[in-house]
Structure 1
């Protein structure tokens, strides 16, 4: 199995004593990996370090064999991501926003922009101003921007936030389709247990800044019937829910 993302000994402490402690994870080609944990568990901190937005106190993250600390451009070359909120220019249309983002990459033509707008379900709104969009629509535009360059690894921090039920179902379909058809690897953080269960093939639980377990969704459902039971059981061993 080809290792796409390798996290070793990742530690970052804040003054209030919270943070992440000695996280070790390997993510393989084609994985849809769910990073599951309650709000405040440290998911965003870990993802900010993974994408070079924050420095760790110790440890390293390698993407396709390149360290984000010492070879940032090479590491991020085939990565698309949304951390915390999907940013866009409110007075531009989705099409104009993506046209701007396309300038950062080689070989992205107008047909690719239409293609990602179609994939994320906002093609029919391509000329409307983003300032009139709901949170869910902005999130879809963020995903469109993240997949624009056909990245091999997509890192998404709470991608289903703000989406209605229909939007969540479509986003799950899109993630699965990209994983199956394009062999895109996903690293997705979420506190929504049900969605992680339905979307991801491997799951790691982060609790109080530590990874308490990593397993395949198949194993978890075989042994625990639901991800919620597994989560409660794992967290019970490592503290209280």
Structure 2
């Protein structure tokens, strides 16, 4: 299997003592990895380091063989991402936003913009200004922007936030479809256990800044009644008081 993400001894501690400590992880092409942990566990910190938004205290991240710290442009050249919130230009329409984003890429034409609008379910809203969009619609647009360039790796921080049940199903199916048909690798963070269980084929539990365990969803569900039971077991086994 081809390794596409390698996280080695990654640490970042803030002045308040929170952060991440000594995280190690390897992901293969086509994996849908779920980064599971409560709010404040350190998920966003790790993802910000992965995408070059902050620097770690120690450790490194390699994407497609390139160090994010030493060769950032090459590491990120085939990556799409949403970190924290999906932003857009509120005075532009959905279509105009994607047209603006397309300027950063060589091979994204109007046909591709129409295609991703259809994929995320925004085609009929493409001429509406995004300032009037609901949180869920903004999230869909953010995902459209993240997959616009046909990236090999997509990093999504809480991608199902603000989505209704239909939206969650749509995005979940989109993720699974791209992983299966195009071997797109997904790195997804969430505190929503049920969604991670239904979406991801590999899961890592992050708690108080530490990676407690990484396993396949299949193995977890063969040994536990649910991902929730597994999560509770891992947290208690690793010393939560």
- How many Å separate the matches in 2 of 1:239 and 1:4? 32
Aligned to 1:107: 107
2:34 is the alignment partner of 1:34: yes
1:21 pairs with 2:21? yes
Stretches of 4+ moved more than 4 A in 1? Answer: none
> CA offset at residue 240 of structure 1?
2.6
Alignment of 1:188-207 (within 5 A): 188-207=188-207
1:159-198, aligned counterparts within 5 Å?
159-198=159-198
Give me the whole-angstrom Cα distance separating, in 2, the residues matched to 1:27 and 1:166: 29
1:155 matched residue in structure 2: 155
CA distance in 2 between counterparts of 1:239 and 1:102 reads: 48
- 1:8-157 pair list within 5 angstroms: 8-157=8-157
1:233 aligns with 2:233: yes
Distance in 2 of aligned mates of 1:160 and 1:131: 20
Structure 2 stretches of 5 or more lacking a match?
none
Tell me the TM-score normalized by structure 1. 0.99
Query: What CA distance in whole angstroms lies between the structure 1 residues aligned with 2:99 and 2:16?
Result: 42
CA deviation vs aligned residue, 1:68-125 (integer Å, no higher than 9, x gap): 0010000000000000000100010010000000000002110000000000000110
Structure 1 spans left out of the alignment, 5+ residues? none
- SS of 1:8's partner is strand
Alignment coverage as a number of residue pairs:
241
State the Cα deviation string for residues 185-217 of structure 1 (Å, max 9, x = none).
000000000000000000000000000000000
Please state how far the C-alpha of 1:239 moved relative to its aligned partner.
2.9
**Offset, 1:63:** 0.2
TM-score, with normalisation over the residues of structure 2?
Answer: 0.99
For 1:13 and 1:193, locate their aligned partners in 2 and report how far apart those are by CA, in whole Å: 26
Structure 2 residue matching 1:86: 3-state secondary structure:
coil
Q: Distance in 1 between matches of 2:238 and 2:164?
A: 33
